[in-house]
Structure 1
């Protein structure tokens, strides 16, 4: 069927209910939840849409999870559908497929920003009734908030992703410099080491016109104490704090601390530059630690340290990290809802979460797994320091989040590129946010 994306993401409650019923063979939500609450005793075959999960020791992590699940549930077989490498690409492909009523994939790995969009469009099953009481007590509050839309939970935790400041500990030691505690200090330190010729770039990050820049903007605004939305979910971006954040982004490039082509970069571009030895500092997600520390792919392996992100001088707001990661969603049109829920819950449980700590270059969602013997043995600083982070939510609690994200990253990209002043960028972002939240932007 032809899919009108705007119509899909802006329909009212009646349209949502109609979509749910028409997408599931005419069954109502109570029927679906009854099916989802029971693990089948007969043979069932599931498909799992899953992206490649970074591996510590070369194993295909998704295959390890599937084999572990099938040992516990021998009547259920799981096969993978290899997903795309980007959040936006997966969202587009899944939206098209699920809106057509496809029964596959039964379970799909999705970004933690997706629940409002997919829940609003009835492309994910609300699962709070099939989760046990107290379930969320074992997971970070930020993950529960991002999984919930209008009081309903649409995602089951899998793994989280947080951002850190990676740095060349060998170069800081060589020049007698400490890990920067503020952005102002990072700028000074970067210029000092760049002037010696020991490194080409000071600070590597992501400022392309993608969701990656939205995450960065969210963090810089939090560092400056600038809210994006107010307590009622309305646009609140503006004022000197927001301009301070946008001014910092502009200064990175205008000072030469960050290369000018950062305006085209996503996470992989900045990571590639860092592991090739080009940069002194890198802001990236937790998975970058494994890649930076692996001699086969990194020229700087053994020379990298990890710290919490700095803050602005005089604010005391260091250690902010965008709350990211991936969860498992249930296709409401699945023919095996009980098996699908069992698999999603298994991925959120202790066995898989410890497996992730041992084998995967990601942060387990289960809080206890962060302190497990597997996490200590892996020695991944991003896992061991995860509890020290201040998690910051992107403004995701709206079905218009793709438009909200665009309203942030488009003017921010122009500010970084020197085409807009920081003040003009903040005004454009504020205006764009208001339009996006009202469903008036594309």
Structure 2
């Protein structure tokens, strides 16, 4: 890797490139201590993985800088740093939906595809790191929503894991009434997590919100209404507890593993902690339910990118290459319970024995849809989260159809303003 980057720099100089190009190449060749900035590590798995790199690279140690848990707050802090052209961040742990925005703003560098074994990654995951034909980041973890459920309670009542919303509603209401616990919860605070939950509901009704390039509003009103009505109905009827209006990922994870929920929508990282919790041995996971059958989740995850303002971009690129390698990806799963991006790990018999949800997770990832790419995604997310939050909050005075119509109008304005 070092020889390759040095050779690139030498070729540029020998070819008579401009002084500015030569300076940029030299900057890319910078080495030394680097900083990885990413969201809060709620499972405390990350530092031991970084320690492995640091022991092997004493002259290029990486320091972990943790940002808040919520994606919106992470983005806000990263954007403030990058707009100031600060050299503080070297490697950025980006939510997969930020690729287009950060690339379009010139905050991250394009990367050479040949440096990374992308052909061995899950295909939908690679797509989240590509914008306008260029690779701007490297997938580090993937994600797709799963339905966590109390298999012991389902067995007592003669239920099978729900595949449709109506089955989930029926079972959640019955378990709520019989055992005095919340029926179902997801991430319903007004932030990116609520956008994801609503998007999954729309997709699971057979619809979508924007075209994949984010250039057109493609929302089918009837399907969007069906998705929103499913969520509003849960709150109105009481099988979705009102306290979940304040839930992010951690709150919903804790509520389920403390035995306060029969069903919960969450990401795969919640599986590991639950195996040592009050519900250990009494829960399982399945695909999200939908209107007429299994639903369609939103593709999540973290991609690693190099800051355009880093002075140690060579070390940053080498670190990304190492950190997304096969053996480290195995540790991401075994030590952090996060979904890896290497396809072959999902078919490893030893890993499946230890993590029996891997086949379901692989199916969920491959069937999930990425959120729309676009430099204005943050505005789109804010509009959706705000509208849906108002609809879910008692006394439920606003008509679902009116909410969807107003949301579509606002999204049209954002898209037309490009």
TM over 0.5: yes
Change (3 A) 1:230 1:399: closer
Greater share of residues in helix = 2
Higher mean alpha-carbon deviation, 398-407 vs 384-393, is at 384-393
Aligned to 1:257: 239
In terms of mean alpha carbon deviation, does 228-237 or 178-187 score higher? 228-237
Q: Kindly tell me the number of residue pairs found equivalent between the two proteins.
A: 396
Matching residue within 94, 110, 121 for 2:78: 94
CA contact (8 A) 1:357 1:374 kept: no
2:332 aligns with one of 356, 374, 378: 356
- Are positions 1:420 and 2:407 aligned together? no
Equivalent pair of 1:375/1:384 in contact (CA under 8 Å)? no
Greater Cα shift, 26-35 or 234-243? 26-35
1:375 corresponds to which of 351, 366, 372: 351
Give the equivalent residue in structure 1 for 2:360. 385
State the partner residue of 1:212.
Answer: 193
Q: Equivalent residues in 2 for 1:73-92 (5 A)?
A: 73-92=57-76
Whole-Å separation in 1 of the counterparts to 2:149 and 2:262: 6
CA RMSD of aligned residues (A): 2.3
Deviation at residue 175 of structure 1 after TM alignment: 1.1
Q: Distance in 1 between matches of 2:415 and 2:247?
A: 27
Q: Partner residue of 1:50?
A: 38
Q: Shift of the alpha carbon at 1:33?
A: 5.7
8 Å Cα contact 2:27-2:311 kept in structure 1: no
Moved more, 83-92 or 216-225: 83-92
- Describe the SS at the equivalent of 2:128: helix
- Residue 318 (structure 2) aligned to one of 325, 330, 342: 342
For structure 2, the 5+ residue unaligned runs are 1-17
Q: Which runs of structure 2 are paired with 1:220-231 in the superposition (5 Å)?
A: 220-230=201-211
Cα offsets for 1:364-386 (capped at 9, x unmatched): 11212223366235x22443422
- Residue in 2 aligned with 1:438? 416
| Partner of residue 9, structure 1 | none
8 A contact 1:289–1:361 mirrored in 2:
yes
d(CA) in 2 for partners of 1:87, 1:30: 36
Q: Identify the range of structure 1 (141-150 vs 323-332) with the bigger mean alpha-carbon deviation.
A: 141-150
Aligned 1:261-280 pairs, distance under 5 A: 261-280=243-262
Gaps of 5+ in 1: 1-25
- Between the aligned partners of 1:249 and 1:413, the Cα distance in structure 2 is 10
- SS of 1:287's equivalent in the other structure is helix
Q: Distance in 2 between matches of 1:201 and 1:44?
A: 51
User: Would you say 1:242 and 2:218 are equivalent positions?
Assistant: no
Instruction: Check conservation: 1:123, 1:332, Cα contact below 8 A.
Output: yes
Partner of 1:309: 288
Task: Please give the alpha-carbon distance, in whole angstroms, between the structure 2 residues aligned to 1:307 and 1:321.
Answer: 12
| Cα 1:164/1:29, change in 2 over 3 Å | farther
The Cα of 1:241 is off from its aligned counterpart by 1.7
Mapping for residues 30-49 of structure 1, pairs under 5 Å: 32=24, 36=28, 44-49=32-37
Q: Is 2:380 the counterpart of 1:404?
A: yes
**Contact 1:164/1:283 (CA < 8 Å) preserved in 2?**
yes
Q: 2:165 aligns with which of 148, 169, 183?
A: 183
Aligned counterpart, 1:20: none
Q: CA deviation at 1:423?
A: 0.8
Post-superposition offset of 1:27 = 8.0
- The answer to whether the 8 Å contact 1:357/1:369 transfers is no
Runs of 4+ displaced beyond 6 Å = none
Quote how far apart the aligned CAs of 1:251 are: 0.9
1:32–1:332 contact (8 Å) kept in structure 2: no
Deviations, residues 270-314 of structure 1 (Å, cap 9, x unaligned): 22222222211101111111222223xxx222211111111212x
Q: Please report how far the alpha carbon of residue 34 of structure 1 lies from its aligned counterpart in structure 2 after TM superposition.
A: 6.9
Q: 2:15 aligns to what?
A: none
Pair 1:107-2:107 in alignment: no
Contact 1:170–1:304 (Cα < 8 Å) also in 2: yes
How many Å separate the matches in 1 of 2:327 and 2:24? 27
CA distance in 2, matches of 1:300, 1:27: 63
1:385-404 CA-to-partner distances (Å, cap 9, x unmatched) read: 22211111212x11111110
Aligned with residue 138 of structure 1, among 120, 145, 151: 120
In 1, are the aligned partners of 2:204 and 2:297 still within 8 Å (CA)?
no
Q: State whether structure 2 residue 139 is matched by structure 1 residue 157.
A: yes
Q: 3-state DSSP class of the match of 2:61?
A: strand
Match of 1:22 in 2: none
